[in-house]
Amino acid sequence: MNTVKTNWAAADPDPLTIGGRTFESRLIVGTGKYRDAEQTVAALRASGAEMVTVAVRRVDLDASKEESLLHHLDPREFFLLPNTAGCYTEEDAVRYARLGREAGLSDWVKLEVIGDQETLLPDTDALLAATRTLVAEGFTVLPYTNDDLITALKLQDAGAAAVMPLASPIGSGLGLLNPLNIRLLKTRLDVPIIVDAGVGTASDACATMEQGVDGILMNTALAAADRPVLMAHAMRQAVEAGRAAWLAGRMPKREWAVPSSPSTGMLD
């Protein structure tokens, strides 16, 4: 039998392009909370992600052997996206973004300004202000936000290179709670929509991509799985499947049955 293998990513009419840079993988993954550096790198490779997030923190001067993540991650293999995780004010977020730019090789930043410790939901006022400041400084800003259309439109106006709404709270694994809002954002914004946070398992990732969004960013779903490398593999397939299903265009839903086999030609 002849089998034809199609490169779906190459057939995508609308490849993921952020800030003038095109990515083949629509999956962006975080590097936090894995067992060790070896597992981190193995999971990143299994995910197929080209862009990975990193955090900026103080060097622990008391540790006997303090290791930078850069000892294990080759910036030629993965495009590093520094985040401002843990920042609660515009000032802190801008400070961390500048440190990340100096530590890394690009002026890209995953901008987080958290407004509440319990939910880790964003402070959208401070997020907007920080976006404006960093865009003015030449940063390519990818803000993590809630799934509110008006905030997303303001972030786009402020110069965000992509808008990254949550599926559900960071680290919750609850999956996509409001597909309607996510579809609204995708319909109304011109910049890429990357769903960031909340995906728990492969079906969540697939269902999220089926809303037509441009990509997904996840960390805990991989790192907190019993087998992170296997979950990274599953997520890669789920993101590809969801994207292909979106491009394919799903059949309409009906509330009654329609036979798949011919109703004619039945025996007497």
Closer to other proteins by Cβ: residue 98 or 154: 98
Maximum Cα–Cα distance across the chain: 87
110 noted as active-site residue? yes
Among 42, 55, 177, 184, binds other proteins (CB under 8 A): 55
**Identity of residue 267:** L
Q: How far apart are CA 109 and CA 105, in angstroms?
A: 11
Q: How far apart are CA 79 and CA 110, in angstroms?
A: 12
69 binds other proteins (CB under 8 A): yes
Q: How far apart are CA 101 and CA 233, in angstroms?
A: 30
Which residues, at least 6 apart from 191, have a Cβ–Cβ distance to it below 8 Å?
156, 160, 161, 162, 163
33 binds other proteins (CB under 8 A): yes
208 binds other proteins (CB under 8 A): no
Q: What's the min distance (Å) between Cβ of 63 and other proteins? A: 11
Segment near other proteins (CB under 8 A); pick from 18-26, 69-77, 185-193, 248-256: 69-77
Q: How far apart are CA 246 and CA 211, in angstroms?
A: 7
Site for other proteins in 70-89 (CB under 8 A): 70-71, 73, 80, 82-83, 85
Closer to other proteins by Cβ: residue 57 or 188: 57
Among 95, 181, 201, 207, binds other proteins (CB under 8 A): 95
Site for other proteins in 151-170 (CB under 8 A): 170
Cβ neighbours of 150 (radius 10 Å): 9
Catalytic residue among 110, 154, 186, 253: 110
Q: How far apart are CA 32 and CA 175, in angstroms?
A: 19
Q: What's the min distance (Å) between Cβ of 77 and other proteins? A: 14
Q: What's the min distance (Å) between Cβ of 13 and other proteins? A: 30
Q: Name which of 215, 176, 231, 229 is nearest 198 in CA terms.
A: 176
Residue 213 tokens read as 């969004």
Active-site positions read 110
**Which residues make up the interface to other proteins (CB under 8 A)?**
30-34, 40, 53-59, 61, 68-71, 73, 80, 82-83, 85, 95, 98-100, 102-104, 170, 197, 217-220
